[in-house]
Chains A and B, each alone.
Chain A
Amino acid sequence: MEAYLAVREALLASADPGLASASRLAALADEAVRSLARAASSRFSGRFALVALGGWGAGALLPSSDLDLLVLSDAPARELKPFVEAVLYPLWDAGLAVGHQVRSPREQRRAMRGDLATCTAALTARPIAGDTAWAASVLALAAADAHKRSRSLLGELAARPRPGSPYLLEPDLKEGAGGRRDYDELTWTAAVLSGEVRREPAALVGLGILTPTELATLSDAAGVVAAARWGLAQAGAGNRMTLDASESLPDGLPARVQLALAETSFLLASARLRVGGAAADAESHIPLPPGVVLELLDARESSQTVLEQAAQAGRLDVLVPGFRELMTLRRPGLGHELTVGAHSLRAAALVTHLPLDHALARSAETLQDPRALQVAALAHDVGKVHPGPGHALAGAAPAEQVALRFGLSASVAADVAALVRGHLELADSAMRVDVDDEDAVLSAAARVGRRELLAPLHLLTAADSLATGPALWTPWKAALIGGLVARLDAALSEDVDGAGLATRAEAVRAASLAAVAARAGARAAESAFVELAPLRYLAGRTPASVARDALLVSELSGFSAPEEARLAVSPGPAPKTYALTVVTADRPELLARIAGAIALAGLDILAVDAYGAPGSLALDSFVVASATLRPVSTETFTLLERLLGAALRNRLELEARLAERRRHYPARAQAPVTVHIISTGFDTAVRVTAPDRPGLLHDLARAVSATDLNIRWAKVLTVEGMATDTFHVVDREGSPIGDDGVVGHLAMRLREVR
Chain B
Amino acid sequence: MKKIEAIIKPHKLDDVKEALGALGVAGMTVTDVRGYGRQKGHTEIYRGAEYTVEFVPKVKVEIVVDDSIAEAAETAILQAARTEKIGDGKIFTSDVESAVRIRTGERGPDAL
Contacts and interface: CB of A to CB of B under 8 A. Distances in A.
A474 B42 CA distance: 20
A482 B46 CA distance: 9
B45 A475 contact: no
Contacts of B56: 479
Contact of B32 (A477, A485, A490, A734): A477
A93 interface: no
Contacts of B57: 476-477, 479-480, 483
Contacts of A733: 85-86
Interface stretch (B9-17, B19-27, B70-78, B98-106): B9-17
Dominant secondary structure of chain A at its interface with chain B? helix
Interface residues of A, number: 30
B53 interface: yes
Contacts of A477: 32, 57
Interface in B40-66: 42, 44-47, 49, 51, 53, 55-57
B83 A476 contact: no
A734 B82 CA distance: 13
Given A362-B46, A366-B47, A479-B57, A436 B32 contact: no
Contacts of B45: 486, 490, 679, 681
Nearest to B12: A434
A431 B51 contact: no
Contact of B47 (A474, A483, A489, A738): A489
Nearest to A455: B47
B46 A479 contact: no
B33 interface: yes
Contacts of A359: 44, 46, 51
Given A436-B83, A475-B34, A485 B46 contact: yes
B15 to A, nearest CB: 10
Contacts of B9: 434
A476 B33 contact: yes
A434 B89 CA distance: 13
B46 A738 contact: no
A437 interface: yes
Given A475-B34, A476-B57, A486-B44, A358 B85 contact: no
B95 interface: no
Contacts of B97: none
A358 B55 contact: no
Given A359-B51, A733-B86, A735-B85, A476 B34 contact: yes
Interface in A379-411: none
Nearest to A680: B45
B110 interface: no
Contact of A362 (B32, B47, B53): B47
A482 B44 contact: yes
Contacts of A738: 42
A549 B14 CA distance: 33
Given A479-B34, A479-B57, A362 B86 contact: no
Given A436-B85, A483-B44, A681-B45, A431 B10 contact: yes
Given A431-B13, A475-B34, A483 B53 contact: yes
Contact of A433 (B11, B13, B55, B86): B11
Interface in A328-387: 358-359, 362, 365-366
A735 B41 CA distance: 13
A735 B10 contact: no
B39 to A, nearest CB: 8
Interface in A406-462: 430-434, 436-437
A483 B13 CA distance: 18
B85 A734 contact: yes
Contacts of A483: 44, 53, 57
Contacts of B86: 733-735
B5 to A, nearest CB: 17
Contact of A431 (B11, B85, B87): B11
Contact of B46 (A432, A434, A489): A489
Interface string A672-692: 000000010100000000000
A366 B32 CA distance: 29
Interface string B24-38: 000000001110000
Contacts of A734: 84-86
B11 A432 contact: yes
A358 B51 contact: yes
Interface in A468-514: 474-477, 479-480, 482-483, 485-486, 489-490
B86 to A, nearest CB: 4
A358 B54 CA distance: 12
Contacts of B47: 362, 365-366, 489
A480 B13 CA distance: 14
B32 to A, nearest CB: 4
A434 B14 CA distance: 13
Contacts of A434: 9, 11-12, 83
B8 to A, nearest CB: 11
A476 B32 contact: yes
A615 to B, nearest CB: 14
B46 A437 contact: no
Interface in A539-582: none
Which of A431, A432, A480: most chain B CB closer than 10 A? A480
B77 to A, nearest CB: 17
A359 B9 CA distance: 20
A192 to B, nearest CB: 52
B51 to A, nearest CB: 4
B106 to A, nearest CB: 26
Contacts of B55: 479
Contacts of B44: 359, 482-483, 486, 681
B49 A358 contact: yes
Contact of A430 (B10, B14, B33): B10
A431 B30 CA distance: 13
Contacts of B84: 734
A738 B87 CA distance: 14
Nearest to B58: A476
Nearest to B87: A436
A635 B53 CA distance: 57
Contacts of A365: 47
Contacts of B12: 434
Contacts of A476: 32-34, 57
A432 B14 CA distance: 9
Which of A431, A477, A486: most chain B CB closer than 10 A? A486
A362 B51 CA distance: 11
Given A359-B51, A432-B11, A474 B46 contact: no
A442 B62 CA distance: 32
Which of B9, B55, B84, B85: most chain A CB closer than 10 A? B85
Nearest to A733: B86
Contacts of B87: 436
A735 B44 CA distance: 13
15 contacts: A358-B49, A358-B51, A366-B47, A433-B11, A434-B9, A434-B83, A475-B34, A477-B32, A479-B57, A480-B57, A482-B53, A483-B44, A483-B57, A489-B46, A681-B45
Interface of B: 9-14, 32-34, 42, 44-47, 49, 51, 53, 55-57, 83-87
Given A436-B87, A476-B32, A738-B42, 18 more contacts: A358-B49, A358-B51, A431-B13, A432-B11, A434-B12, A437-B83, A476-B33, A479-B34, A479-B56, A482-B44, A485-B46, A489-B47, A679-B45, A681-B45, A734-B84, A734-B85, A735-B85, A735-B86
Top 6 A-B residue pairs of the complex, sorted by shortest distance between their CB atoms: A486-B46, A733-B86, A358-B51, A476-B32, A486-B44, A734-B85
